[in-house]
Amino acid sequence: MRLDKYLCDMGIGTRSQVKEKIRKGLVTVEGALVQRPEYQVGKEQQVHVEGVLVSYTEMEYYMLNKPAGCVSARTDGKCQTVLDLIASKKRKDLFPVGRLDKDTEGLLLITNDGMLAHMLLSPRHHVDKTYEAKIRGRITEEHVKLFGAGLDIGEERPALPASLKILASGEVSEIQVTVQEGKYHQIKRMFQAVDCEVLYLKRLSMGSLKLDERLTPGEYRPLTADELAVLQRGGLE
């Protein structure tokens, strides 16, 4: 590929910025000075910018424990985004797979693998997403039945049946809920439909991918080879 594209893909700068670096003699390929942006370079070749090695990475996969107050978006003019937290990222085309509300915590996959994201998010694949939550209101077995039957949350069709597990029942109840969709504010709307309110929400898993509890809110790590392999086989194991 073109040298300027190589460097742009790796986040060295905009196309005009990397062209300027190349023309100023700040870039070498396999130890040789290259001053032509159109120079063809292989992904396995050694490219240095101002003496720093820039290795080409095709795909990146990160598990993030999203903190509350952070926006699930690539850019935002007012708030910190989940991509702002990935300090070690090499590519500039990363995005969050699905969205968590600003005040929701927990598992979020960050990648640039569009095919994997589509597989995990497509409604026809029915990938389980499990959350834990604190709910204002006493959650009972009647709620478990209602969630299992599929709740009307104000759309043309009811939400798909969801699995609701009661961890503690009281004025503030603690639950786990597993859904197979990702509708806008879905968990909050489901509890609103049964006259309850979500006070705290955290995603624990998405398909086979489970939140590494060693990650504190705001921390992240690359996916392991095993985690990625299972996801790529369908994310359902």
CATH of residue 153's domain is: 3.30.70.1560
Per-residue confidence (pLDDT) for residue 90, from 0 to 100: 87
Tokens in use for 60?
A: 């990146």
pLDDT tens-digit map of 36-80: 999 999 989 999 999 999 988 889 999 999 999 999 988 877 889
Residues 213 and 112 reside in one and the same domain: yes
| 237 belongs to a structural domain | no
Backbone angles phi, psi at 56, to 5 degrees: -85, 130
Distance CA 219, CA 67 (A): 9
Q: What is the pLDDT of residue 214?
A: 97
- Do residues 90 and 158 both lie within one domain? no
| Among candidate residues 53, 77, 92, the one where a domain is terminated | 53
Catalytic residues, by residue number, are 101
What CATH number corresponds to the domain at position 22? 3.10.290.10
Q: Are 119 and 223 in a shared domain?
A: yes
**Predicted model pTM:** 0.84
Considering the domain architecture, whether residues 133 and 111 belong to the same structural domain is answered as no
Q: Are residues 108 and 166 in the same domain?
A: no
Please report the pLDDT score of residue 76 as a whole number: 77
Co-location of 202 and 134 in the same domain: yes
Residue 17 neighbours by CB distance under 10 Å: 13
pLDDT digits (tens, 9 = 90+) for 69-98: 999 988 877 889 999 999 999 888 899 998
Q: Considering its fold, how many domains does the chain have in total?
A: 3
CATH of the domain at 220: 3.30.70.580
Burial class (CB in 10 A: 0-12, 13-18, 19+), 222: middle
Same domain? For 75 and 113 the reply is: yes
Evaluate whether residue 43 is within a structural domain: yes
Evaluate whether residue 135 is within a structural domain.
yes
What is the reported pLDDT for 235?
54
Domain residues for the domain of 225 are 61-123+209-232
Tell me, yes or no, whether 46 and 147 share the same domain.
no
Same domain, 48 and 70: no
Residues of the chain with pLDDT under 70: 234-237
Domain finish residue from 17, 36, 53: 53
